[in-house]
Each structure stands twice: as C-alpha cells, then as structure tokens.
Amino acid sequence: MTTATFPAPAALQAGGLAPSDARFDVARQPLAAVTGAEIQAPLIQGGHVRYANLDYGASAPALSVVSAYLNEILPYYASVHRGAGYASQISTSVYENARTTVRDFVGGRPDDAVIFTRNTTDSLNLLAGCLPAAGGGEPTGEVLYLDIEHHANLLPWQRVPHRSVIAAPTLAGTLELLRGELAHGGVSLLAVTGASNVTGEVLPVRALAALAHEYGARIVVDAAQLAPHRRIDIAADDVDYLAFSGHKLYAPFGAGVLVGRPDWLDAGTPHLAGGGAVQDARLDTVSWTTGPARHEGGSPNVLGAATLARATQVVAGLDQDQWHAHENAIRSFLVEGLDRIDGVTVHQIFSDSATFDAPAGSGPASGPGNGPGTGTIGVVNFSVAGYDAGLVAAYLSAEHGIGLRDGRFCAHPLLRRLGLPSGSLRASFGLGSRLEDAQRLLAGIQELRQSGLGWDYVVDSGRWVPANDTRSYPHWAPNTPGTAGAAPCSQN
C-alpha cells in the first residue's frame, strides 16, 4: 500500500506561520484515543493516506474507551424495566444509572428530569410539546429564538406561537435586541444555541439565562455543539432546559438527552404514546405516568444511553486547561493558515465573539464568569473563491483523504444572512484530532488555489463526485460515493 505525505503549504512558510512553532506543540498528538483514528482512505490518484477527520461537528468518532465499554456490556443487553431476568436487571441498572451520570455531567439540579431521546432534534421537539397551555390548549406564551439557530432549535418552535430576532453583528448588540423583545412581554421560553454549529462561536449562556428570567421567561439551550467542547453547569448558570446528542459527544448508537425542570415535562403531552408511558390504559382512555417514563414510550435505546453516559464521564475527567489548549492550538493554526491563502474567507457571525464579556447588572452573569464563556469551539467555517463548496469538499476527500462538511448545515436563515445562500465549508475537530489534520487541509486548499483540481468531477445525486472513480471500498459498503447522496442543503 502506497501512503502519501503532505508538506506544509508554501504560503504558511512564506507567511511566517511555521508548523514547528512551539505554541502548537500541545496539538501534535490527539488528546484522547478514538475508534477509527488510523483508517486509510484511498486517493483518486492512487495510494492511500490516513483519513483526516475534520467533520467532528456532524458526528464525532467514538472514544476508544466507549467502544470498549460497549463490548463489555453488550452480552448483557436486554429489555429494561419489566424484566425479572438477570440480563434485564443489569440492563435496567445500566440504563437508569446513566441518568444520574448525565445529570452530573451537566451540573443538573437534584430534581431535574433526564429524558433519553434519539438526538437533540428529538429532545427539542419533546419540549415543544410540553409548553404550558392555557384553557384552550394553546401555549400561554411565545417562544423567542434567534436567526442563527440550527433547524433543531428553529423548526419545532414554528409549530407554536413564536417570534424571532435577527442577531446583531455583535453579541453585545444581540443581547440588547433580545432584551427589547423580552421587555414587550408574552415570552414563555427563550431558545438559544450554546455554540453555533456553523461558526463555532459560543454564546454567553449565563447572561442569556439571567436575561430570560428577568422578564419571567425560561431558557432552553441547544448544547449539541457546546457539550463536546466546554464544561456545562446548568444549576450555576440557571439554565432551565438543556439538550445534546451522543453522536457529537463521542458516543455511537444515536442517543440524545433532554435535562431540565420537571413541572412542564410532567404536565406535557407524552412524546411517544406507548408501553411504559402509562399508569393504566383502557380501550379508549389512558392515565399517563410522570417522570422520564412519560416521554420514553416503547423499548428504549439502552446501549445508546449507556455509551452516552460513559462518554460524558470521559469528557468530564479531562484536564480543562489541556483540553482547551489542544483545541485552540488546532483552530489558531487553521484560521491563521486560511487567512494567508489568497481567495479564502473565514466566516463568523459576531465581531466581538473573542472579547465579549457580559454587561454589568446582568445578575450572576456579571463579570468574567459567564458559564461556558464566549469565544469559539473547534469549528472553522470558510469558503474558497471561484469554487462551489461541495466541489471543494469532494476534491479534498478524493485527492487528499480529508473529510469535512459542506452545505448549509441545517441553518438556512443564517447562511443566507452571511451571504452564503449556496453553502460554505466547515472544518470541525475534537479530542482525536491532531495538528497534522489542519496542516493537510491547508496544503490541499493551497494546492487548489495554485494548481486547480487534479481530477474531473461531476454532479451525481446532488453531490459532486470524481468522474470515473475506480477507488475500492470495503466489501460490506452498500453504495459507493455518489450513488445515493443527499443534496448539500440538507446537510447538518
């Protein structure tokens, strides 16, 4: 097998950004072992190269310790809650203990409900069905949200009374716009992202919670992108509800979670009408139970909940300084390198995301202690002049063995406002990433700008793919690239 190597792009060396710079040393090795870290990707021009996974923001690889834990518990997998058998009792214990583990991970209050779902989208749809209703069945207040949200934290609220706010060019200005809307009254819930899935910019969660509560509203935080990158403490930040997904937090099996105050959840419409969600059922009537079981009808995803809980334990045990230094080094190297390549633009929402601090008088958010804080997580969004984002992604995959995301990232309103109606590119990374991944991406982009594409590409099923692709894939893979692709606008 021929293995390709990629030198640092000349633009970096000439521009003063040396990969050997000591400030990047902390990121030369992964911070944690992940499954599949040494996958060899075939190149269209021949040979293989270690797959550079820069798509953590879509689905992060499973931590190796999580994969090992799965193999350990898999022989004991059985139905939970109503089984008297040995395996059922063990599975029930694993499943229920996962709630406590997840609650501890997010700094939950003792009475906070922990409801396992399929993903963040499922969690937020569940909460949308639990908004307090007036006598006529309509929610008693509106849901307020920003235009920067992922569809998971946008579309569920369009089914109930709602209003939206166009985010300002700064975080400070955005908080003032939200204050103005909240001051008008009639808002029962403020729905915000913890970190943008498009640009990685972190919002001041504690300040937003204080603002919502000042005007009698509750707050829900979409932490799908935040949880894999920052410590979360919903009790300290006074957050009412929080949702995140296992597949972005180094856990397989498609589990998500909603954590938060139980009163709305106990009174809300059961999310899944089925077995386990009832106290008693008759032919035409039902008495629903309360607690997490109310919304977890049917057989739950035991392995998903268990691996999600195990992943939270690993992430919670990280040294925070080392964790952030590793991520920041890769991001700094990548952003500085992209800025040095002609025709490449790095995109952001807020001009003050690196320096913002909550204003005085915002309650517990005053001063530097803004919960997760502001800044940016391990996500970089960019575009290359003269090239469709999907074509650049296909080129990087086929000719350089790099995986990253292109499209509109399920955030269509934001992409339109950023002037990117057809989409952009997103590189995202995490615990299993290394500086070499960013170096290879920069080399690939520089080669594209200097020499153009090295292969012909065509659109197949809405995706750019190499023409006459003869690369081999695992025998068990049902489709080769391009035979069943999704349109870029649908991508997360």
Per residue in 321-363, pLDDT (tens digit) is 999 999 999 999 999 999 999 999 999 999 999 888 765 444 3
CB 219 within 8 A of CB 239: yes
- Split at pLDDT 50, 70, 90, the class of 483 is very low
In 24-86, at which residue ranges do the beta strands (DSSP E only) sit? 40-42, 48-50, 52-53
Q: How far apart are CA 339 and CA 292, in angstroms?
A: 48
Q: What is the pLDDT of residue 144?
A: 98
Q: How far apart are CA 388 and CA 159, in angstroms?
A: 34
Q: What is the pLDDT of residue 4?
A: 54
Q: What is the pLDDT of residue 113?
A: 98
- Split at pLDDT 50, 70, 90, the class of 12 is low
Q: What is the pLDDT of residue 136?
A: 66
pLDDT for residue 403 is more than 80: yes
Identify the burial level of 184 via C-beta atoms within 10 angstroms of its C-beta, where 0-12 means exposed, 13-18 middle and 19 or more buried: exposed
- Split at pLDDT 50, 70, 90, the class of 22 is confident
Find tokens 């910019």 and name the residue: 201
Radius of gyration of the chain (CA): 23
State both tokens at 299: 């057989």
pLDDT for residue 476 is more than 80: yes
Mean pLDDT of 293-306: 96
Q: What is the pLDDT of residue 140?
A: 86
- Split at pLDDT 50, 70, 90, the class of 8 is low
386-397 per-position pLDDT tens digit: 999 999 999 999
Q: How far apart are CA 146 and CA 135, in angstroms?
A: 29
Mean pLDDT of 140-163: 97
CB 277 within 8 A of CB 293: yes
Nearest residue to 51 (alpha-carbon basis) of 43, 62, 39, 33: 39
Amino acid at 15: G
Q: How far apart are CA 327 and CA 203, in angstroms?
A: 18
Nearest residue to 58 (alpha-carbon basis) of 318, 417, 425: 425
